[in-house]
Amino acid sequence: MTQVHVIQHPLLQHHLSILREKTTPPWLFRQQVRRAATILAGMATSDLPTQPVPVHTPLATMTGARLACRIALIPILRAGLGLVDPLQDMIPEAQVWHLGMYRDEQTARPVEYYCKLPHDQPADVAFVLDPMLATGGSIAMAVEALQQWGCPDIRILSLIASQPGIDFLCRQFANLNLFVAAIDPELNEQKFIVPGLGDAGDRIFNTQR
C-alpha cells in the first residue's frame, strides 16, 4: 500500500514558509531548498538497513553500523537538481541517475526527453527527487522507469504536493513511500499547485520571466 508521510517538523515548516514567500531572492531560495531537503531526507532514510562494522576509536574498539543497501538518487530535471546536493551530503556513496522531463504547455502532460538509467544492477532503494508534486505525471513516469529497472524500494521526496497529485499516484501505484513537507489542496488551470510557491525550477535557477 502506498504510504504518504507529511513531515510536520517545526524547522521544516519554518524553511518552507520562506520558500513560499514570493519576495524570497533566488540565492536564499536555493539555501532554503537545501535546508528543507536535508530535514526531509533525514526522515525518509530513517529505516534504511544497516550492517554491523568494527570501529576503532582512539580509546577502544566497538561495533558501529554502515548502510547495507545500494542507493540511487533520481532527480527529475531540472528542478530536482536542487535536491541532489543535500542528499549526497548525507549519502556520499549514493549514485545519481537523471531523468529529463518537461511539461507540455498545451496539455500540461510530462514529456520525457532524457533517461540515464543503467540497463542492469538496479539500486536497492531509489529516491525520486522533485520539489513540486503537482499532477503527479512526471513522477509516475519516473516510477514506471524505475520499476522496469527492477528497483524494489521507490521513495518520493517533494517539498510540496497537491492533493490531486497524491490521489493520482495512490491510484496508479500500490507500493510507494511519499515524503512531503506539505500537501496543498488544489491545482489551478495551468496545473500549478495552489497556494504552492510558483515554479520551483525558475526560482532555483533564477530564470523567472
Over the stretch 20-42, which tens digit does the pLDDT of each residue have?
Answer: 999 999 999 999 999 999 999 99
CA distance 146 to 4: 19
Mean pLDDT, range 133-144, rounded to an integer: 92
Tens digits of residue pLDDT in 173-202: 998 999 999 999 999 998 999 999 999 989
Start-end of H helices in 45-131: 84-90
0.85 surpassed by pTM: yes
CB 162 within 8 A of CB 171: no
The single residue listed with the C-alpha cell 491510484 is 171
User: Which domains does the chain show, CATH number per domain?
Assistant: 3-47+71-205 (3.40.50.2020)
Mean pLDDT, range 72-82, rounded to an integer: 91
CA distance 93 to 207: 31
Residues paired with 54 in a beta bridge = 63
Backbone angles phi, psi at 100, to 5 degrees: -100, 125
pLDDT band at residue 120, thresholds of 50, 70 and 90? confident
